[in-house]
Each structure stands twice: as C-alpha cells, then as structure tokens.
Structure 1
Amino acid sequence: MPRLQEVKDDIIIHLRPAGVDLGKRFVLACVRTPSTSRAGNWSLETERFGTTTAEVRRLLAWLLERRVEVVVMEATSDYGRGVYCCSRT
C-alpha cells in the first residue's frame, strides 16, 4: 500500500508585480510597489499606453523605472504578440 506524503505549496510573494491588459487600441498597466511611508502597505499605479512600437517601448521603460520583478499579461485574441516581440528586442 503506497504511503501518503504531505506536500507543502511553495508560496512566492513578489514585492513589485505588474499586470498588463493588452487590447487592440491600448495597453493598461498596473504596478504594485511597497509603500515608502508605512510598512506593510502598498501603492498602486496605473498607466495607459498605445500599441505602437514607441508606446510599447515607453511601457517597458515605465516598468523598468519602477523596478518591476514580474509581469502578468492578459490579451484578447493575439494582441499580445506585438508587445511580446517588441519587449524582447
């Protein structure tokens, strides 16, 4: 008879995550960062970008400026291709 083993989930908490919603005409990005004034609190910042190459590069600079650790993208249809390809150059 097989023995049951206890499995523990590894939980990773990123201090500076970003969520990006990709659409046909614009991209919305939201970044969560630790509050500098109160420990245990977070600040949220949201910005809207266009879908041109220049705007996607501005999005990349915006994320880097905020020292984002991980980005989660959600895209309708295949609109994420342009952002993904542009961010790799």
Structure 2
Amino acid sequence: MLKYIIRRLAMLIPVLLGVSLITFSLIHLIPGDPARSMLGEKASQQQLELLREEMGLNDPFIVQYGRFLGHIAQGDLGTSIQKKKISLHS
C-alpha cells in the first residue's frame, strides 16, 4: 500500500508541471498587453517599455515560465494586474 501511495505521489509531479505549462501557455495566448492594462490608455510608450522590462515580459517564453515555476515553488503567486497601482508620473 505504501508503494502505491509513493508511486501516485511521484506521478503527481509531471501532472502538475503539465497543467502549469498549459495554463501558462494559455495566459500568453490571450490577446492584450498586461502593461497596457496596468498603466491605462494614457501611458506613454516609454512607460510601457519600462514596465514590460520590470515585469520581465520582454524575456523569452521559457525564461518567463522558469521564473514562474521558481516563484510558485516559493509560494509567490505574483501581483494582480488589476490590483497593482502604477503611477503615470514616473
């Protein structure tokens, strides 16, 4: 019985990785720009680029996914795009 439980728990790891990869991929496929959503329509191109760089949105997909997994492993689920207050006067 113990072997069965250990085997099932071991199979949980690839399943969770697969689900996280699918979820992360779907979020990237959704149209729209998170920086534009956070700063609003009145933001300048320079402000958008600075925020994209700060958030790591300019990095390749695999780098973003690796960072995402690292944060999840630490219990950090990120900052809500809707709740974060960004000043346009930067």
TM-score, normalization by structure 2: 0.25
- Structure with more of its chain in helix, by fraction: 2
- Taking structure 1 as the reference length, the TM-score comes to 0.25
The structure where strand makes up a greater share of residues is: 1
